[in-house]
Amino acid sequence: MNASLLLAWNAVLSHPLFLLGLTLGVYQLGLGLYERTRMALLHPLIVSIVLLIGALWLLGLEYEAYRDAVLPLTLLLAPATVALAIPLYHNLRRIRQFFWPVLITLLVAGVFVTAVTILLAWLLGADFAMLMTLAPKSLTTPIAMMVAEQMGGVAAMAAAFVMYTAVLGALMGPWLLNVSGVTLPAARGMALGLAAHAVGTSRALEENDEAGAFAALAMSLMGIGTALLLPLCVTLWLLL
């Protein structure tokens, strides 16, 4: 009896759909909690990450095994990114109207966040490879990994820093904007997309379509701008 129960348990655990089902389950649990409480700490993304990491640890599974099992879900991330074109298109008139504010904010805040990250880590004793791994933390994962790699950082760890930033974005992004009194949807979107890439964009979309459009714009331009300029700046710096 016990042996057959164990057999059944193992069959369930090793079924290819188990981890996918688990992910959907914890996400909905998080969604339910979040809709009831509206607390950023209980955002579905945060709840899911904590529960998933706990579950993988209890089951003794490696992250790689999990990543492979939920590939069908992750594959949809690419068309979802392309789908951001629709809110962008709907707000194109607004974006063109605010062309200079967008460009100036991007340049000032983009340089600021990268420089402050490098400076603080350097003051606290991080070595060069670590600085180059930290620098692209505000970018969307694929760009961050490429940029880190190009500059002598560790691509996989850069992805982890991007995700830590994502957690910060989900947890504190909208709250920081509320506390500091930023109310304009375009400005809230710019700040969230620039500082916390796709997760910031996702949070901005929860607020409204206009914030979402500016977040998608900020995320893309921040990624493109940093991919072009940061390796150039680092090369020049090393030459001096």
Residues 88-127 that bind another protein (CB under 8 A): 88-90, 92, 98, 100-102, 104-105, 108-109, 112-113, 116-121, 124-126
59 makes contact with another protein (CB under 8 A): no
CB of 235 to another protein, least distance (A): 14
Stretch binding another protein (CB under 8 A), from 9-17, 81-89, 232-240: 81-89
If one asks whether residue 232 binds another protein (CB under 8 A), the answer comes out as no
Amino acid at 173: G
DSSP 60-95: T--HHHHHHHTHHHHHTHHHHHHHTHHHHHHTHHHH
Distance from C-alpha of 201 to C-alpha of 129, rounded to nearest angstrom: 29
Which residue among 79, 232, 237, 240 contacts another protein (CB under 8 A)? 79
Q: Minimum Å distance from CB 13 to another protein?
A: 18
Cα–Cα dist 36/49, whole Å: 19
Axis-axis angle for helices 141-150, 209-239 (nearest 10): 0
Q: Which is nearer to another protein, 41 or 224 (CB)?
A: 224
Binding mask 132-171 for another protein (x = CB under 8 A): --x--xx-xxxx--x-------x-xx-xxx-xxxxxxxx-
In contact, 194 and 218? CB cutoff 8 Å? yes
User: Closest distance between another protein and the C-beta of residue 2, in Å?
Assistant: 32
* Helix pair 2-14, 18-37: axis angle to 10 deg: 80
23: tokens are: 């992910």
Of 11 and 107, nearer to another protein (C-beta) is 107
Which of 153, 177, 210, 234 touches another protein by CB under 8 A?
Answer: 177
